Structure 1
Amino acid sequence: MNRLSERVEKIFSQMVEWRRRFHMEPELSFREERTPARVAEILREWGIDVRTGVGGRGVVGTLTGGRPGKTVALRADMDALPIQDEKSCEYRSRVPGVMHACGHDGHMAVLLGVARLFSEMREEIPGRVRFLFQHAEEVIPGGARQMIEDGALEGVDAVYGVHLWTPLPVGVVGIKAGPLMAAADFFQIDVFGKGGHGGLPHESVDAIVIASHLILHLQTLISRQVDPLKSAVISVGTIQGGQGFNVIAERCTLTGTVRTFDPVLRDELHRRIREIAEKTCSLYGATCRVEYQWGYPAVINDTVEAHRMAGVARRIVGDDRVWEIQPVMAAEDFAYYLGKVPGAFCFVGAGNPEKNCDFPHHHPRFDFDERAMKVAAQLLLSSALTYLRDEGRREKADEPAS
């Protein structure tokens, strides 16, 4: 582990340079052009097999080790967000209204560093390492499913990923087996009433009043109809209706999100939201249209691989700096990879108030402590190597005696 730590330390300045360049030149989901081209160019410099345009905009690099063995995949995301960068620093985004406000620039820099180090120790590797640089993580549908459909996981036996995470202090790793991040779905409900004069409500069907009742009814799904030992969230994010202060609205539109971990509960909430919308509107003499979009499934870590990754983390940062965290209601399309092969995803602490690295993700002043990239790189390197070596020893032990 010390040898890997020294190798990461030697290329840390290069990772910082990559990260800052990506940060200055962000690209939105499904519009990634310069970013994947740059990633592919760097990977090819180290003799790594590269496929571009995977699933649309993704890049997949494959490195074959000097000895036979399993295949492990490591993933980084590449897209930025439609947010104006309000930081004051030399690497501030140069693209108006677009910035890396979630750490994807760091994820790319980390995985490039890991790829470089693996290329330098190619002959020591028992198996193959696949580097997944994924487009469009920030939108639904994301790029993960597209890349999988285009063969990104073919032949892969395990997959790992990390997320630089400012809610945790730098030097801490947060992980748990089982559900880690929520499934995220989207709904839009259009309420259709009957417009009229604000002074003559009895001649109208007020879509805004009906929508208000609907919002309250939706909240009782969580407070009174979901097992309190199970986690779920329904949040109405927008309500839009009406054209004037003295006009009763004929139409009102609600949009919101549903977050769950349990797939059975996820299906049930979908059914009940539609049912409550229709019956609430009917009660008040209105009609409605419900559109429901299934988003990312929940990120559910494989128990064996989560324990393996946690064990690796303890050797890197120490037992007291590896925290078993509570599940997070944010979503991640890394879930699609875990739905195909065993693996684990974890949070690498990147918060530091002394460096103004304590703003939440997706904030205009978001930044992270770049030292977190050293922990993330060691974690991906060591998790992949540990898996390949452990599985290699297991296969050898299972061979029949001659």
Structure 2
Amino acid sequence: MEKGVLDGVDAIFGTHVFPTVPLGQAGICEREMMAGVDIFKLKIHGTGGHLSTPHKTRSALYPALEFMNQISVLRTQAVDPFETAIIDTGYFHCGTAENIIPAEAEIIGNVRAYNDELRAEIKRRMEKIVRGLELAFEVTCDYEHHFGYDSLVNDPDMAKLYRTACEEVFGAENVITPQPAMGSEDFAFYLKKVKGAFSWLGVGDGGTGSNGLHSGSFFASEQALLPGMQMMANVALCFLNSEA
């Protein structure tokens, strides 16, 4: 993209196999379809020591626990009830032994949301929480918050055209409007540059095609290949024959 590969492109369409959509069906949303994702990393530096003299230390554990509590509260304080966001951790490490007060703690997690302005607001609020930890617990913190994949938002007109193309391949009854997913997709970057839309190609067959994406047990049925190719070819033809 930085080298201009999308310059002059009129429209762009993509798809991804999806286990929650039944084999023989396709799913497409008119607007928001997949969430944007951000990665946050917090390292807390305190002063460790023996558990018999906690007053001479600045444990990293308690500010780490407070951070976990604060981001949980943040979901209710910063997120409009009519929107949604995930603020959660996948990694928490603190301590080395039962009688040693930990000097360091590390937390790594994600923020996921469809609204990019909300993602920025959550980042701002989390940075303030970290500054508060330093003051309240007399520790120092290293905090990183990186914006990752953009939220995947279809162009409504292109989504309608895509739906029509899908219906001509699968039949109208087999083209669904799924609930948007909190997973992320790098195709979102293309949609920021060029109008277009994204779909899910159903591979859910009650067997390996219904297992979780990117798991070792997932294997999409080859029965989805031909209709998938027909779908992509047809959306290209529909766009070329349209006035969009």
TM-score range, shorter chain: over 0.9
Residue among 8, 11, 32 paired with 1:179: 32
Measured in 2, the distance between the counterparts of 1:352 and 1:255 equals 35
Match of 2:175 in 1: 322
Following superposition, the deviation at residue 378 of structure 1 comes to: 1.0
The superposition leaves residues 232-257 of structure 1 with CA deviations (integer Å, 9 ceiling, x where unpaired) of: 11111101122222111111010001
Q: How does 1:233-382 map to 2 (within 5 A)?
A: 233-353=86-206, 355-382=207-234
Is residue 390 from structure 1 mapped to residue 242 from structure 2 by the alignment? Answer: yes
Amino acid at match of 1:274: E
Match of 2:20 in 1: 167
> 8 Å contact 2:78–2:122 — kept in the other structure?
no
Amino acid at match of 1:211: A
Measured in 1, the distance between the counterparts of 2:209 and 2:157 equals 33
Measured in 1, the distance between the counterparts of 2:52 and 2:142 equals 28
RMSD: 1.3
Which fold has the larger relative contact order, with Cα–Cα distance below 8 Å and residues 6 or more apart in sequence?
A: 2
Q: How does 1:118-157 map to 2 (within 5 A)?
A: 148-157=1-10
Measured in 1, the distance between the counterparts of 2:6 and 2:78 equals 39
Question: What residue ranges of structure 1 are gaps of 5+ in the alignment?
Answer: 1-147, 395-402
Measured in 1, the distance between the counterparts of 2:98 and 2:193 equals 53
Following superposition, the deviation at residue 375 of structure 1 comes to: 2.1
Following superposition, the deviation at residue 151 of structure 1 comes to: 2.3
Measured in 1, the distance between the counterparts of 2:33 and 2:134 equals 36
> 8 Å contact 2:21–2:201 — kept in the other structure?
yes
Measured in 1, the distance between the counterparts of 2:135 and 2:204 equals 50
Amino acid at match of 1:361: L
Amino acid at match of 1:374: L
The superposition leaves residues 260-317 of structure 1 with CA deviations (integer Å, 9 ceiling, x where unpaired) of: 1112111100101111122023212222111111101111100000000011111211
Match of 1:223 in 2: 76
Measured in 1, the distance between the counterparts of 2:30 and 2:198 equals 9
> 8 Å contact 2:27–2:200 — kept in the other structure?
yes
Following superposition, the deviation at residue 335 of structure 1 comes to: 0.8
Measured in 2, the distance between the counterparts of 1:337 and 1:305 equals 14
SS at match of 1:390: coil
Measured in 1, the distance between the counterparts of 2:110 and 2:16 equals 22
Measured in 2, the distance between the counterparts of 1:201 and 1:250 equals 11
Q: How does 1:22-61 map to 2 (within 5 A)?
A: none
Following superposition, the deviation at residue 358 of structure 1 comes to: 1.8
Following superposition, the deviation at residue 343 of structure 1 comes to: 0.2
Match of 1:213 in 2: 66
The superposition leaves residues 138-184 of structure 1 with CA deviations (integer Å, 9 ceiling, x where unpaired) of: xxxxxxxxxx1122212210000000111211011111111111111
Question: What residue ranges of structure 2 are gaps of 5+ in the alignment?
Answer: none
Amino acid at match of 2:221: D
Following superposition, the deviation at residue 364 of structure 1 comes to: 1.4
SS at match of 1:234: strand
The superposition leaves residues 319-372 of structure 1 with CA deviations (integer Å, 9 ceiling, x where unpaired) of: 22111112111111111111111100010111112x432210121111111211
Report the TM-score, using the length of structure 1 for normalisation: 0.59
SS at match of 1:149: coil
Amino acid at match of 1:214: F
Amino acid at match of 2:118: L
Q: Percent identity of the aligned residues? A: 32
Amino acid at match of 1:287: T
